[in-house]
Amino acid sequence: MPAPKDDSEKPPVFPTPRARLEYLYHDVTRLSQIAAPTLILHRADRNLTSPPRPPVVGIKAAQQYEEDFVAATGGTLVMDVESMTVDCDGVFGCVMGVLRAGGGSSSSSSSSSLVGGQGVSVGGKGQGKEDSQEGNSKGRGEIEMRFCGVWRFDEEGRAVEHWENAADPAALARWLGRE
C-alpha cells in the first residue's frame, strides 16, 4: 500500500482576495504566497526623498523587503487589523489597523504609545511620544502606529499592487533606522 501523500507542502488555496489578505496579515512574510510574480509595492516612506523612492518591483524583491522589515523589528512586528474591505468585484482591497513592534507582541488595549502621534492607539489618542523600554527591538523602544494598506488584485485574485501607508512614515523610517 503506498504511503499517503503529504499535502503540507501544497500552496494555500484562497477562494477570495479577502482570504488572501486575512492569511497575509497574520504573517507579512507570506507575501509571495498571495501575490502575482509582477507585484509592485509602493513603500510607506516613498515620499520622504526627492525624487520619491521607486516602488519595489517583482515578488522576489517584495518578499525580501517584507522579510527585511520583520527582521528590522527584531521579529516583533504585529499588524493588528481593525478593518478589511474588498470590493464586490475583488479588484481593490483596503486593510486598516495598528502596526506594533519593539516590545512584546501583545495587543494590549491599554497601550497608547505612538511614535509620531498621527493616529489613534487602541487605548486612546496617541501623544506622539517614544517609549524607550529595555528588552525590545535593538533598544529602540516600542512603536505603535496606524496603517492603511491598499491592494489591487488580478482576475485570479492575486495581489498585483500594494500601497503601504503609515500614519507617520518619517517616524517609522527613523524607528527602523532607514533614514
In this structure, is residue 8 part of a structural domain? Answer: no
Domain assignment present for residue 32? The answer is yes
27 found inside a domain:
yes
Question: Which of 13, 4, 56, 5 lies closest to 34, judged by CA?
Answer: 13
User: What cell was used for 172?
Assistant: 517609522
Give the burial string for 54-88 (b: 16+ CB within 10 Å, else e).
Answer: ebbeebeebbeebeebeebbeebbbbebeebebee
CATH code at position 56: 3.10.450.50
Count the alpha carbons within 13 Å of 7 in the hemisphere toward its beta carbon: 3
- The reported pLDDT for the residue numbered 53 is 93
Residue listed under C-alpha cell 504573517: 27
Considering the domain boundaries, does residue 70 fall inside one? yes
Identify whether the C-beta of residue 93 lies closer than 8 Å to the C-beta of residue 85.
Answer: yes
3-state SS, residue 16: coil
pLDDT for 177: 84
pTM for this structure?
0.77
169 lies in a domain? yes
- For residue 19, how many other CB atoms are within 10 A of its CB? 15
Domain membership of residue 158 (yes or no) is yes
Q: Note whether residue 1 is domain-resident.
A: no
Sign (positive or negative) of CA dihedral 68, 71, 72, 78: positive
Between CA 139 and CA 77 the distance in angstroms is 15
Residues 10/22, Cβ–Cβ less than 8 Å: no
Q: Return the DSSP state at 114.
A: -
How many domains does the structure of the chain reveal? 1
pLDDT tens digits in sequence order for the chain, 179 residues long: 555 555 455 668 899 999 999 999 999 999 999 999 999 999 999 999 999 999 999 999 999 999 999 999 999 999 999 999 999 999 999 999 999 998 754 444 333 333 333 332 333 333 333 443 333 445 568 999 999 999 999 999 999 999 999 999 999 999 888 77
* Closest residue by Cα to residue 148 from 82, 98, 95, 93: 95
- Domain hosting 148: range is 13-174
Which cell is 85 given? 474591505
CA 41 remoteness from chain centre:
11
- Let me know if residue 35 belongs to a domain: yes
C-alpha cell of residue 148: 492603511
What pLDDT, on the 0 to 100 scale, is given for residue 76? 94
